[in-house]
Amino acid sequence: MTDVNIAEITAGLFEKNAAEADAAVILGSGLGDFADSLTDRIDIPYSDIKGMPEVTVVGHSGTIHYGKSGGKRVLAFGGRFHSYEGHGMDVSLCLVRIVHELGIKKLIISNAAGGVSTRLETGDLMLISDFMSPGYAYSYRGVPKSNVRYDIKSLRPKILQLAAENGIPLQHGTYFYVKGPTYETKAEVRAYRAMGADVVGMSTAPEMLEATRLGISCIGISLVTNMATGVNTGKLDHSEVKETAESRKEDFARFVNKLIQSDI
């Protein structure tokens, strides 16, 4: 039994003429201004869609933005539902399930993340080439499957080339999922780095797993909004995350628009 009625939500989106799209985007903390780059846009508060859960995190507007990027129709979600807010997986994964129910084939998942690798800097955009989610209990039950795996090896060169052609610096690396909401300890960050993590964050990996299971092609992008605990000195809090997102939002929007308009 699911807590979220996906069919009810998608019916609400059809009613608002905001359902048919070529691509969907989940906007991470502080990245909601991407919506301003869409043309012919309508904004729909989540609370206007029957059945949609409520957003509680600062930096997430809780708004659906439906508009155009070039000739492509885009459905963008300004706000997601994290496990650390106490949501069960049915709520946390509902945006991906809405995208699937609507038959949208392309999904771009973005997030704010902490830099773990010393080759990264605050403000870097990073393509998620792979991820680890050891602490995540996946809600889907079934026979273990190797195809329920995010694998963008074949897309990676094309995505990096697209960024380079447009003069957008883009790193690539491995995302490490933690449930949060506490930031990591120094020891944890050291351990994650030794395990091969480049960034750490509190979302995205479950969404990517679910998108992959449902056959949606998804691309993950992290914005390094801060260096993770102990990587450099300084206090870590959510306001730093928002400030960095603010300073990089234009490149982020430009890149996501390029991805939407490309045939990647």
Q: How far is the CB of 151 from ligand HPA (least distance, A)?
A: 24
Is residue 243 part of the annotated active site? The answer reads no
**Restricting to residues 205-234, which ones interact with ligand HPA according to CB under 6 A?**
225-226, 228
Q: How far is the CB of 225 from ligand HPA (least distance, A)?
A: 5
Closer to ligand HPA by Cβ: residue 75 or 178: 178
Q: Which of these is catalytic: 83, 111, 222, 226?
A: 226
Is residue 112 part of the annotated active site? The answer reads yes
Q: Kindly write down the DSSP assignment for every residue of the chain, as one continuous string.
A: --SS-HHHHHHHHHHTT----SEEEEE-TT-GGGGGG-EEEEEEEGGGSTTPPPP-STT---EEEEEEETTEEEEEEE----GGGT--HHHHTHHHHHHHHTT--EEEEEEEEEE-STT--TT-EEEEEEEE-TT------SS--TTSS---TTTHHHHHHHHHHTT---EEEEEEE---SSPPPHHHHHHHHHHT-SEEESSSHHHHHHHHHTT-EEEEEEEEEEEPBTTBSS---HHHHHHHHHHHHHHHHHHHHHHHHS--
Q: Which of these is catalytic: 18, 21, 76, 82?
A: 82
Q: How far is the CB of 122 from ligand HPA (least distance, A)?
A: 10
**Restricting to residues 108-137, which ones interact with ligand HPA according to CB under 6 A?**
112-114
Is residue 202 part of the annotated active site? The answer reads yes
Is residue 121 part of the annotated active site? The answer reads no
Whether the CB-CB separation of 127 and 172 falls below 8 Å is answered with yes
- As a whole number of angstroms, the distance between CA 225 and CA 125 comes to 9
User: Is residue 202 part of the contact set for ligand HPA (CB under 6 A)?
Assistant: yes
Is residue 84 part of the annotated active site? The answer reads yes
Q: Which residue is nearest to ligand HPA (CB)?
A: 114
Q: Which of these is catalytic: 132, 138, 183, 238?
A: 238
- Select from 31, 95, 241, 245 the one that contacts ligand HPA (CB under 6 A): 241
Is residue 203 part of the annotated active site? The answer reads yes
Q: How far is the CB of 244 from ligand HPA (least distance, A)?
A: 9
Residues marked active site are found at 29, 60, 82, 84-85, 112, 202-203, 226, 238
Residues that bind ligand HPA (CB under 6 A): 112-114, 178, 183-184, 200-202, 225-226, 228, 236, 241
